[in-house]
Amino acid sequence: MRIAYFINQYPKVSHSFIRREIIELEKQGVAVARFSIRRDGSDIVDAGDKAELARTTYLAEVGKLQILLMVMKAALASPLSWLRALRSALQMGSRSQSGLLKHLLYLIEACVLVSLLRRQGIRHVHAHFGTNPASVVFLAHLLNGVSYSFTVHGPEEFDKPEAISLKDKIHHASFVVAISSFGRSQLYRWCDQADWHKIKEVHCGLDAEFLQAPAVAVPDNRRLVCVGRLCEQKGQLLLIEAIHLLVQEKQQVELVLAGDGPMRADIEKLVAGYGLSAHVRITGWISGRQVLEEIVASRALVLPSFAEGLPVVLMEACSLRRPVVTTYIAGIPELVQPGKTGWLVAAGSVAQLADALRELLTTQPATLDDMGNRAYERVAAQHDIRTECARLKSLFLSVVAGR
């Protein structure tokens, strides 16, 4: 069986879970062709991501003359289908904040994708994210009937379901993957009940690098790590406020912010304003191996997000037997059990976050080890990449067999 995966930017620092999924599917006998609109603009530091660069076909790198010929060929092959796709692109564009021109570009990209898929004899494509990647594969389906599916992670899809025409995308899809029970419920909200049967819950998975990593005891230190893009929804500014409160209490604490992003300058300004330079370190983008090392070297992982789907980094921390401090939002409570595997706090509450961190810092390492071991057992049961990809493979096989 041969299928295609389609992602807006691939590989990408924050999308290692997609790479793991593709590689595991290939181990299970599914041939996967990688397609992406464009390369990620940031530096690729992970060896696995560097290897994926050579395996990925980028639509934006197809020559302009070739693109023109592909669009013309799509229009001439089936004028009615092309006009139907054009009408849908215009309808989506009229609802969307990104506008008509952006959606006409999606139609052009769909023409290119259809041509590339035809050359390789691929009749099913799976997209990650229900935003523009799903728009392109939806239009490709209208152009020549190629079947498609897509994975919805959230929170963006749930913030603007009507603006991204989520209902239409679900209706025409062969199936749609939700990564948590919460995500599945949100998709139910935004599609017809007649399409509920298409919504399948398949978790993001971890591979042997995490699930078979040697157990390392929680260190008797005061170091915390927060892994993620430095942006509003991850709540790092709130975390700096909580660290400031603890430092004012004379608590010994060190925070490592592993990542980079648009809010780095704001975070650095707040750190300097509170005089926390000796307590906070920002790593910038680092490889997956370095992320693993930062988590293992810390007492716990902290992620005070305001909006999420179900963060993969929480799964990674649990697999490394580290308790987590995070928020009561989206799919997170399906993984994290307060008092057993970590702490859950109200999103946006500096006071609750500081209370949880204070309790964490005063908890004995042996107790944290017990919490970490329970976290490992839970994530191993729910997020083994082999089990989850077997479910995906079964879904792909059912589509192919149905065709």
Domain boundaries, the chain: 2-205+384-402, 208-382
CA–CA dist 197, 175 (Å, integer)? 8
pLDDT at res. 268: 98
Q: Which CATH number fits domain 208-382: 3.30.70.120, 3.40.50.2000, 3.40.50.1100, 3.40.50.2300?
A: 3.40.50.2000
- For each of the chain's 403 residues, which pLDDT tens digit applies? 999 999 999 998 888 899 999 999 999 999 999 999 999 877 777 888 999 999 999 999 999 999 999 999 999 999 999 999 999 999 999 999 889 999 999 999 999 999 999 999 999 999 999 999 999 999 999 999 999 999 999 999 999 999 999 999 999 999 999 999 999 999 999 999 999 999 999 999 999 999 999 999 999 999 999 999 999 999 999 999 999 999 999 999 999 999 999 999 999 999 999 999 999 999 998 888 899 999 999 999 999 999 999 999 999 999 999 999 999 999 999 999 999 999 999 999 999 999 999 999 999 999 999 999 999 999 999 999 999 999 999 999 999 888 6
Fold of 2-205+384-402: Rossmann fold (3.40.50)
pLDDT at res. 184: 98
pLDDT at res. 107: 98
Structure tokens at 371: 């919490």
Q: Can 2-205+384-402 and 208-382 be said to share one CATH topology?
A: yes
Residue 304 burial (10 A CB sphere; 0-12, 13-18, 19+): buried
CA–CA dist 241, 61 (Å, integer)? 44
Residue 101 burial (10 A CB sphere; 0-12, 13-18, 19+): exposed
CA–CA dist 243, 226 (Å, integer)? 12
pLDDT at res. 48: 87
| Measured CA angle at 146 (ends 140, 147), to 5 deg | 110
CA–CA dist 78, 75 (Å, integer)? 6
Beta bridge partners of 56: 34
CA–CA dist 293, 62 (Å, integer)? 39
DSSP per residue, 20-32: HHHHHHHHTT-EE
pLDDT at res. 301: 98
Q: Kind and range of the H or E element at 159?
A: helix 156-159
